[in-house]
A and B are shown apart, each in its own frame.
Chain A
Amino acid sequence: MIQARNLTKTFGPKVAVDGISFTLEKGEVLGFLGPNGAGKSTTMRMVTGYLPPTSGEILISNLNLATRPVAARRLIGYLPENAPSYSDMTVEGFLRFAANMRGLSGESAKRALGRAVELCFLQPVLHQGIETLSKGYRHRICFAQSIIHDPDILILDEPTDGLDPNQKHEVRSLIKSMGRTKAILFSTHILEEVEAACTRAVVIDRGRIVANGTPEDLKARSPEAGAITISTSKPMDSALAGLAGVRKTSQLENGRLRIYPVEKLSSAELVAGLLAAAQKAGVDVYDIRIEEGRLDDVFRSLTISDTKEVRP
């Protein structure tokens, strides 16, 4: 649905986006991760046709955004950063305007409005002026605007920004369920969001893609990924002494021990070896698990470095 090739955007001497390419298919939820100022919003603004790229090409459903902008934008629903809306209008008036702009009128506009209002829980404030409403409501109003024409492609810039935890949860499940039938691109700097809603994630740092994969792929890059955390009745030192395949160990709080396997050995094999060794040494195992790795470790290692370039 979206093909972006070599997108570059410069603002004067500043390179905001530096050769980003990605594709997005129907049924995918692609998360854009990155620190503030990494170029996430700029990329989204280019994909929605707001900012013309300095170079590069964007195809929306095989329509070239540069030559067929209106036809391409028809397919997209967009929630810009900070969720702007016309604050002098009522919620209903604003959503009707959005529906009309999308070519819906009369009965079909009414249905679209009803559906969007229901999905975004806007019923209680439908007739209120937008300027009187809280940030959470305004956010959902703009979100409702983006889905009012049931677009094939949804582009959401920080869709959960400014929402309370319950609302965050609702929006995430909404994204996840809509992701089955649409192509969704959303940006966030909340890592749990990526795990909760994305089928694939792209990490962007200083205008470049530094990683691209499923959340599991990304987590597997964490130094903790595949390590085993074990909690036992007494210290494991003697049991570990004779065990092959241990690269290093580190003591955690509460007497837990983290054991890193050597690269050749799978974590499951090490678990089996550990359990056998513990039994032989007469140590009771209370708890044992394989670490999945933590996304924020990966995020930090990919984006923090100012000197060395991390490439996928």
Chain B
Amino acid sequence: MNPALTIARRELAGYFQSPVAYVFLVIYLLLSGFFTFMVGGFFERGTSSLEAFFIWQPWLYLFLVPAVGMRLWSEERRMGTLELLLTMPVTPLQAILGKYLAAWLVIAAALALTFPLVLTVNYLGTPDNGVILAGYIGSLLLGGAYLSIACLTSATTRNQVVSFIVSVVVCLFLLLAGWPPVTDLLVQWADPAFVQLVSSLSVMTHFQSITKGVLDSRDVLYFASVIVFCLFTTGVILRTERAN
């Protein structure tokens, strides 16, 4: 078996042997339900769509995804197993991909467990399931992008708390960059081109355009490039860490 998959399997087992995965799943599902039904007004909307569910995803992930990703490398560094892992016959890229994949699967599992919502809207009305599918793909990409940021920050420190806080802040920046209050503020003094640039960095605009049911290649490319950039930088950090 490919060493990346061996690492992913070990990592995944690690998530489910510790409370991390269960706490994440339960809290994610509880909060999703709360926001969808109580805050999002799922029933009051009177439309058969999952908009009330997807609209909260960027905010829920903001705290929950860094919690999943914060241990990826800082734990290895703290326990000294990084030395063990990277002296096995595996390239750093394989190790990074393996660990990242495992954490992403935990997020995917959480998303998959929201299937009763899909059943509910289909029972109550006739939603556009293509839009719902797009929403799930968007959520998965969004979770992946946040996770890659958490992966990067956890490579910089052996302290999980530091890793968590820094990744929340970075994710928050990406989230708020396109938020109207922020763009409105920027418009008052900045060049419109700059505002455009900042808001194009935002996960919100890309995420929302996907959840509307338009799987634009630019949006997918945006998430893909965030992920590739962060994982690549993780590799650079792990290498320079050892070189100095």
Contacts and interface: CB of A to CB of B under 8 A. Distances in A.
Interface of A: 11-12, 45, 48-52, 69-71, 73-74, 76, 78, 80, 82, 84-89, 93, 97-98, 100-103, 105, 142, 145
A78 B88 CA distance: 9
B87 interface: yes
Contact of B87 (A73, A85, A105): A73
A80 B6 contact: no
B188 interface: no
B10 A97 contact: yes
B1 A100 contact: yes
Interface residues of B, number: 24
Contacts of B80: 80, 82, 84
Contact of A84 (B13, B81, B89): B81
A87 B79 contact: yes
A89 B14 contact: yes
20 contacts: A49-B87, A51-B242, A52-B239, A52-B243, A71-B89, A73-B87, A73-B89, A76-B87, A78-B84, A80-B80, A84-B83, A84-B84, A85-B81, A89-B10, A93-B13, A100-B1, A101-B3, A101-B88, A101-B90, A142-B84
B197 interface: no
A80 B244 contact: no
B89 A101 contact: yes
A80 B79 CA distance: 12
Contact of B89 (A80, A102, A105): A102
Nearest to B6: A100
Interface in B55-113: 79-81, 83-84, 86-91
A88 B81 contact: no
A12 B244 CA distance: 7
Given A78-B84, A84-B83, A70 B89 contact: yes
A160 to B, nearest CB: 18
A89 B17 CA distance: 8
A131 to B, nearest CB: 10
Nearest to A103: B89
A151 to B, nearest CB: 10
B75 to A, nearest CB: 9
B126 interface: no
Nearest to B3: A101
A105 B81 contact: no
Contacts of A98: 88
Contacts of B10: 86, 89, 97
Residue of B13, B88, B239, B243 contacting most chain A CB atoms (<10 Å): B88
A100 B243 CA distance: 28
- Per CB-CB distance, the 10 closest pairs between chain A and chain B, nearest first, are A84-B80, A74-B89, A48-B87, A100-B6, A80-B83, A101-B88, A84-B81, A73-B89, A70-B89, A78-B87
Interface in B170-193: none
Given A80-B80, A101-B3, A73 B242 contact: no
Nearest to B15: A88
B81 A86 contact: yes
B6 to A, nearest CB: 4
Interface in B223-244: 239, 242-244
A100 B242 CA distance: 25
Contacts of A87: 79
A102 B86 CA distance: 12
B89 A50 contact: no
B18 interface: yes
B14 A88 contact: yes
A80 B17 contact: no
A70 B91 contact: yes
